[in-house]
Structure 1
Amino acid sequence: MDISLDLAGRRVLVFGGALAARRVLARFLAAEAIVYLASVPVDGHPPERPHPQVRPVEYPHFPHGWRDLVSAVDLVVLVEVSAATERIIVDACASQRVWLSREPAASVAPLGRVTLVGGGPGDDGLLTMAAVQALRDADIVFYDKLSPHDRLDEWCPGAEHVDVGKTPGHHATPQAEIERMLVDSALAGLTVVRLKGGDPFVFGRGGEEVVACREAGVPVTVISGVTSAISVPAAAGIPVTHRDLSRVFTVLSGHAPLSENELAHLAGLGGTIVVLMGIGTLPHLTAGLARHGMRTDMPVAIVEQGFSARQRTTKARLDTITPLAAKLGARSPAVLVIGEVVRLSEHDDAASDELLQAIASNAEH
């Protein structure tokens, strides 16, 4: 059951240590609730100082004090209490008919952790449930320009958001510096999320960040994301594989020009070619594939700004796509698709069947 409540101006009493309850406190503060925190000293130390906007309260010292305490608020949230105290609070809430909720405690270990999160191609709806939960638990989020970051205030209220500014062809923060910030934040005990567009392990340099964390002794996990290599062509109606047209697809980075040997192997492999970050090297790629035997009438598509209101698909042949892209001012972020599957986006189901029959007939002859 998913219940949404308007908590603006409502009184919320949280039980737990300020550190353990920090994510819970941040969410209720972001919802504009009036937040109270009841925590007890640990090992003889005074209670941790909560957020300046959180109002501390003391545990009651007499039995009916619990009923008085919970009756003064609209919602009670249990984060970190003993079993005996929980039973007292549950009974008090039941007798006073006050809503009661339980929330998991955030880590208070001296060593934090890093989670690399794939944010998908930009559509909020393509974030996985695991990605949303990781953001919800984060103390600090380092994000790229191409990641879905417009709703971070909603997904992880109270967390620090750090723009590391990576866009195609422009890295505002050097990769080594990003890795240092991830490690330093985790060593300070924070729960860290590194939010990337697409999938962290598909040309996202996620492997380098995992190695940096492991070398520093920082726990690190990876949450896969929907890669633009498949989803963006699909948004344009292009399947990267099709039983009768393409039994293999190759994904490559167009960040740097391919060697002659790589071009020769790529041209001879067949199937579908998907290129990420390939606008800058498009002339080199198309000329090289043609030079190594690919048909000049091979269909090519450029899908720009996938999953946005500015999405645009440009289709042409291998020998005409480069001048057309230049004329139209095609720009990154974009996904290139080379192969017969591009033709399928031009037809409805009946026309696609006719196309496939014609291709099969030509192959037989």
Structure 2
Amino acid sequence: MLQAEKSAKVPRCTLVGAGPGAADLLTLRAIRAIRAATVLLVDDLVSDEVLRWARKSARIVHVGKRGGCRSTPQEFIERLMIDEARKGERVVRLKGGDPFVFGRGGEEAEHLREAGIEVEVVNGITSGLAAATALGAPLTHRDHAHGVIFVTGHPRQGADALDWDQLGRTAAQGFTLVIYMGVAQAASIEAALLRTLPEGTPLAIVQHASQPQQRHAVATLGALRRTLEQERLGSPAVIVVGEVMRGLLALRDAPRREHAA
């Protein structure tokens, strides 16, 4: 009894992956955590459909975090989580995708634990996986891709630049590149990857993966920037580069070949 009472007083925070946006892609564990929360700190990319699982009495704090837009300072978010958890609130940090895949969940977990807050992490479907699946394409394939590399196109300010030459050489050996937050840097990414990959390397760009407003385009590496402009695709979007997209590229080009014939 004493141990249970002591455990109940330990401040806790749950980092929950809300997935790519569609509420029916939430895990059961995520739904349980959202339902139990008395305070939810919610990222911009979490859809209203997901928030319908929250209790009516829950306090919902929107803490926008989106590239290219004004964002809530990370220090403020972490301080709020710590303060509310210490007050005894059931705190949930609700993030798009997965907390530990480009969601800064690792940083938040470290700071929470340093403050004496117990941390639970609930995984969500990351947008890179959802983007490929939304098009009916795999990320790995025994004949085309032996592995997959998740990479950000928007590294932290002051961090070393990514070695796109090495990434391109690795992709050429049979790996799929899944590029998050790469739209703003698409021109430089295209130029860098073309140093080690053929311009005909297939790719797909998926915006708002899994959501009703999803849009996408299939193209080649040499036409990445041009396709983004022509199709007016923007953030949030994922760029998937590799031979696993070859089938989609063939489907795109089939009507053109038939018309030419």
Using the size of structure 2 for normalisation, the TM-score is 0.86
CA distance in 2, matches of 1:347, 1:198: 29
- % of aligned pairs identical? 40
The match for 1:216 is 115
Structure 1 ranges of 4+ moved more than 4 A: 107-111, 257-261
Q: Hey, what's the Cα distance between the residues in 2 that align with 1:217 and 1:262?
A: 37
Give the match for residue 13 of structure 1.
Answer: none
Cα pair distance change 1:260/1:155, threshold 3 Å: closer
- Measured at CA, do residues 342 and 151 of structure 1 come closer, stay the same or move farther in structure 2, by a change above 3 Å? closer
Call closer, same or farther: CA 1:245–1:187 in 2, change over 3 Å. same
Q: Which residue of 1 aligns with 2:234?
A: 331
Q: Sort the Cα spacing of 1:125 and 1:183 in 2 relative to 1 into closer, same or farther, 3 A.
A: same
- 1:268 corresponds in structure 2 to 169
Q: Distance in 1 between matches of 2:160 and 2:73?
A: 26
Q: Structure 1: how far apart are the matches of 2:231 and 2:206? A: 12
Deviations for 1:122-150, whole angstroms, at most 9, x for unmatched residues?
Answer: 01011000001111111100001112344
Equivalents in 1 of 2:213, 2:50: separation in Å?
Answer: 19
- C-alpha distance in 2 between matches for 1:151 and 1:336: 24
SS class of match (2:45): coil
Match of 2:61 among 142, 162, 166: 162
User: 2:105 aligned to 206, 230, 235, which one?
Assistant: 206
Q: Deviations over 1:44-65 (max 9, x none)?
A: xxxxxxxxxxxxxxxxxxxxxx
* Superposed CA RMSD: 2.2
Q: Is 1:256–1:281's contact at 8 Å kept on the other side of the alignment?
A: no
Deviation at 1:259, TM superposition (A): 6.6
Number of paired residues? 242
- Deviation (angstroms), 1:184: 0.4
1:135 lines up with 2:34 in the alignment: yes
In the other structure, the counterpart of 2:187 is 283
Per-residue deviation at 1:185?
A: 0.4
Q: Supply the AA of the counterpart residue of 2:231.
A: L
The alignment status of 1:297 with 2:200, answered yes or no, reads: yes
Aligned partners of 1:272 and 1:337 also within 8 Å: yes
Deviations 1:217-266 (A, max 9, x none): 01111011111111211101221111100111111011149977711210
2:258 counterpart residue number: none
Unaligned segments of structure 2, at least 5 residues: 1-5, 255-261
TM-score scaled by length of structure 1: 0.62
1:344 aligns with 2:243: no
Q: What amino acid sits opposite 1:342 in the alignment?
A: M
Partner SS, residue 163 of structure 2: helix
Could you tell me how far 1:347 is from its partner in structure 2? 6.1
Q: CA deviation at 1:116?
A: 0.2
